[in-house]
Each structure stands twice: as structure tokens, then as C-alpha cells.
């Protein structure tokens, strides 16, 4: 079993670390709202999801001079400084899909069941924490969250663990989901004021998923939001019955974005279940495949927008919502930008959820017949999976996926990796009460992948004709 991986740092990027000594210190809340230039305190760098750095030292003129400063082996099976948990799982494959956090010259990296603190100047391991959990899906881990002197991460068996960021010693561990129900916990916690926001997913056993706020001091529950509409919720009418909604998916796989002025949290939700066989769940199936705006203090929903009603292709809306301020038709707007897995680029007013534009960012999409009056795509029912198979674009991997986009306020452009691809989707489970994925997919090719720079004012690639 391979249990090691490597991280490296380029010599010229050492200038990003400033002159502070390589010793972990508290992260003030103000440094999350307005990060210091030499830090990266959240999954996306800050609350906006932009992945933008104001640093100018490295540019197109000197990037060719970057050289290797150090390379460090991350040994997941190596001796741990501290351990926690009561289960038998003590090692796991190195399988990170997250972003290292950088605070005061220390990198905080997660793997399933493990966290490391690394001296960013030398690559030296400062501490290693190992979680001994029960067997669970170790599909990856998207990283940590930091609050004051404490760092948090989710474990595969669905515990939220809090550590002392200076030593790696465990403070507490709280169960956030039942792993026996096949919930998957891999999200990067996001700290907002006195809330630790966590997400819970799951794919194979058809369950309802959710986001929660936890107390950073104790891990106790503060609020809970189901991503499939339960009874007494207005969205419940988009489900045929309580059973379908209670097994409807809507996983929270990536950390949300946050607007401190509006105090709104923006969460992208996952695909509906059963995934490729939709006959047991007629309706739009809210709030799957959606972006949802929640009050950060209460978890109450202010607005939502569903990008793929009654999805049958695994096109979740878990792509990072990017917050930017711009001018549309001469009017200043607080915007939410999202390149959706189904191949559409949405520009939304993040105050009220009104869609300002819905534009394809790749060619060849054939799963919708047009854009409705609210900016929502109108699915083409003839492109739903069939027993004989139906050619559809894009594949279930999407026109874009989990790799994060970026936005530059300098250029006003939104940057996203894209793929034009095609699959034949099959429905295999024709039972009235389908379960699981309920189908299969045969990917038949595509026209390659490209990095695209989209103009938020037009929704189109920069420089293209309207």
C-alpha cells in the first residue's frame, strides 16, 4: 500500500512567507476576512472563493527563474505526534484533494485520517496527527479550517476534529454524521465568526445530506440545513413523497463562500439520488444541484437557484461559488459567479438570487432546450438515460469539475478549466423505486480541455464576439 506523497516549494516563492519566524500563532478573525498577503488561511484563500493573491513579486518576466527550494515526503504511515479515535484504521493511502493552509509560516495539510504541520521554509514536519477511525470511504480530504489557535478537519468516518495548531494535540472530536448510513465526510471546514461550517455528502446508499454550523469551542451543533427539502419546507412539493426526499442526495462536497456584509453563506449542492434513474423522483428535486444562500448565524435560507432541475447525469453544483463586485448594465452589483458542471456559466445577484445571465462556456451541450425566464436551463427530456443509451454532452465528469476556478479583480475575468466531452448514458434500473446510481455511462470522447477566461459582463470568453 502506497502511504507516502511529496510536497515541494519553489525557491522564489519563499518571498511570500515574509519575515515572521516559522512558529504557529493564533489567527485573528480579521485575518480571515482580510487575509495578510503572506497567508492562505482558508480553502480558497479568503471568503470570496476567488483564489486571488495581490502579490506581484512573481510575474511573467521572472517565473522562468523559479527553482526548487525543498521537497518533503509526507509519510501518512509514519509515527504520529498525537493520535485520536477508537477505531482500527490507523493508516490510509495518501489521497489529498485539498489546499494546504498557510498561517505564520506554517503549512497545514490534511489527508484522510491525518493532518500535518510543515515548516514552509524548510519542509520540516512540525507535528503529525493521526485519527484512528472505523473503516470508511477515503475518497480524499479537501483541507482544514483555522480559528484562533485551533485547527479543524473532517475524518472519513464523519468526525469533526479540533487540534491545537501549535502542537497537534487533540482538543475534541464530535460526530457530524452516521458513517453506517454511508455518509462521506471530506469537506474543508470554514470558520465564520463563531461558527465552524461543515458539509456532509454521500453517493451510494441514497441518503439526505446537509450542511451544519458547529461551535468552535466545543463542536456542539448550532444549526442544521438539509439540502433535500423536507416536509413543511416550500421545496418539498418538488419531491413525490417524504421517502424520495429523505434519500435524495444533495451532498456538500466543497466549502462555501461568504459575504460578511450580507452575512450570507453560499453553498453549492451535489447531485440528486438515485442518480441516473429518475423515475422514482418526479419533480425538480430541490435543493439538489443548486446554489443556496443561508444566513450564517441561523442557517435559514434566503434564496436558492437550481442549475439542473431533476438532474439525471450526475451534474452537481458543487463548484466553488465566486463572489465579485462588478457593474452590469451601468449598475453596481454584488455578484456570484459559478461555472456549473453542466457547462453553463451563471452570473447571479448574490443579494436576491436573481440570475443576470446564463451562458454556455463550452460548445456541444445538448442536454437542455433553452433558458427559461428565470435564467434556469430547460432540460431536454429526450436526453435522459435510456436502456438503449443516449448520446449526451457533457459526460458525468462535466464541462468543469472540482478543480477550483479563480477570479481576478485586476482583469475582471473568471478563469476556469473546461472540457468538451460526450457520453452515452444508460438506464439499467427500470424499477419504479430505483436505487443507487441506477445506470451506467460509456464515455465516447471529446475535443480536449482548455483554460477559459470568461468576461462576467457577457458570460463569454474574453475577446469573443457577443
Nearest CA-CA partner of 209 in 162, 254, 266:
254
**β-bridge pairing 68-75 and 406-408:** unpaired
| Contact (Cβ atoms closer than 8 angstroms) between residue 325 and residue 336 | no
How far apart are alpha carbons 61 and 26 in whole angstroms?
36
Closest by alpha carbon to 41, among 125, 147, 122? 147
Round to the nearest angstrom and report the end-to-end CA distance of the chain. Answer: 52
Active site residue 59: no
C-alpha span between 208 and 298 (Å, rounded) = 20
Angstrom distance (rounded) from CA 249 to CA 263:
26
Closest CA to 369 of 359, 382, 356, 378: 378
Q: How far is CA 398 from the centre of its chain?
A: 15
For residues 339 and 360, the answer to whether their CB atoms sit within 8 Å is: no
User: What does the alpha-carbon distance between residue 41 and residue 52 come to, in Å, rounded to a whole number?
Assistant: 13
Q: Which of 314, 316, 429, 455 is catalytic?
A: 314
Which CA distances in Å does 303 have to 249, 254, 265, 337, 458? Answer: 20, 19, 11, 15, 24
| SS3 state at 31 | helix
How many whole angstroms separate alpha carbon 118 and alpha carbon 96?
Answer: 15
Burial-class residue 107 by CB neighbours within 10 Å (0-12, 13-18, 19+).
buried
As annotated, the active-site residues are 314
Amino acid at each position: 500500500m502506497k502511504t507516502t506523497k511529496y510536497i515541494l516549494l519553489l525557491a522564489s516563492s519563499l518571498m511570500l512567507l515574509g519575515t515572521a519566524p516559522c512558529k504557529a500563532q493564533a489567527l485573528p478573525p480579521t485575518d480571515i476576512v482580510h487575509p495578510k498577503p503572506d497567508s492562505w488561511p482558508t480553502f480558497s484563500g479568503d471568503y470570496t472563493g476567488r483564489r486571488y493573491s495581490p502579490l506581484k513579486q512573481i510575474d511573467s518576466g521572472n517565473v522562468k527563474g523559479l527553482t526548487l527550494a525543498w521537497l518533503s515526503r509526507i509519510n501518512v504511515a509514519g509515527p504520529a505526534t498525537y493520535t485520536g479515535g477508537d477505531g482500527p484504521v490507523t493508516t490510509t493511502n495518501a489521497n489529498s484533494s485539498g489546499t494546504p493552509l498557510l498561517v505564520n509560516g506554517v503549512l497545514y495539510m490534511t489527508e484522510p485520517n491525518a493532518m500535518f504541520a510543515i515548516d514552509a521554509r524548510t519542509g520540516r514536519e512540525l507535528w503529525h496527527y493521526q485519527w484512528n477511525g472505523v473503516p470508511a470511504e477515503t475518497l480524499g480530504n479537501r483541507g482544514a479550517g483555522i480559528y484562533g489557535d485551533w485547527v479543524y478537519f473532517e475524518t472519513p468516518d464523519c468526525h469533526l476534529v479540533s487540534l491545537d495548531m501549535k502542537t497537534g494535540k487533540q482538543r475534541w472530536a464530535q460526530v457530524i454524521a452516521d458513517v453506517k448510513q454511508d455518509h462521506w465526510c471530506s469537506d474543508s471546514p470554514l470558520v465564520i465568526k463563531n461558527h465552524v461550517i461543515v458539509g456532509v455528502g454521500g453517493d451510494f446508499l441514497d441518503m439526505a445530506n446537509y450542511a451544519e454550523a458547529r461551535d468552535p469551542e466545543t463542536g456542539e451543533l448550532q444549526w442544521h440545513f438539509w439540502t433535500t427539502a423536507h416536509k413543511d419546507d416550500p421545496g418539498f412539493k418538488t419531491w413525490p413523497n417524504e421517502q424520495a426526499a429523505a434519500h435524495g442526495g444533495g451532498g456538500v462536497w466543497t466549502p462555501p463562500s461568504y459575504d460578511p456584509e450580507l452575512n450570507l453563506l453560499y453553498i453549492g449542492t451535489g447531485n440528486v439520488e438515485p442518480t441516473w434513474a429518475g423515475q422514482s423522483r418526479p419533480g425538480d428535486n430541490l435543493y439538489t444541484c443548486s446554489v443556496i444562500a443561508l444566513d450564517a448565524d441561523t442557517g435559514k435560507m434566503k434564496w436558492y437557484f437550481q442549475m439542473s432541475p431533476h438532474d439525471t447525469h450526475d451534474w452537481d453544483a458543487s463548484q466553488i461559488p465566486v463572489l465579485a463586485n462588478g457593474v452590469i448594465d451601468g449598475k453596481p452589483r454584488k455578484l456570484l459567479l459559478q461555472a456549473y458542471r453542466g457547462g453553463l456559466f451563471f452570473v447571479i445577484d448574490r443579494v436576491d438570487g436573481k440570475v443576470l445571465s446564463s451562458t454556455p462556456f463550452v460548445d456541444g451541450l445538448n442536454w437542455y432546450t433553452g433558458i427559461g425566464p428565470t435564467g434556469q436551463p430547460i432540460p431536454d427530456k429526450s436526453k435522459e438515460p435510456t436502456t438503449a443509451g443516449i448520446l449526451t454532452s457533457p459526460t458525468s465528469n462535466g464541462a468543469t469539475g472540482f478543480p477550483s476556478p479563480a477570479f481576478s479583480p485586476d482583469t475582471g475575468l473568471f478563469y476556469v478549466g473546461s472540457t468538451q466531452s460526450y457520453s452515452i448514458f444508460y438506464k439499467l434500473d427500470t424499477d419504479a423505486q430505483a436505487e443507487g446510481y441506477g445506470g451506467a455511462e460509456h464515455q465516447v470522447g471529446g475535443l480536449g480541455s482548455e483554460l477559459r477566461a470568461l468576461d462576467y459582463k457577457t458570460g463569454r470568453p474574453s475577446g469573443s464576439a457577443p
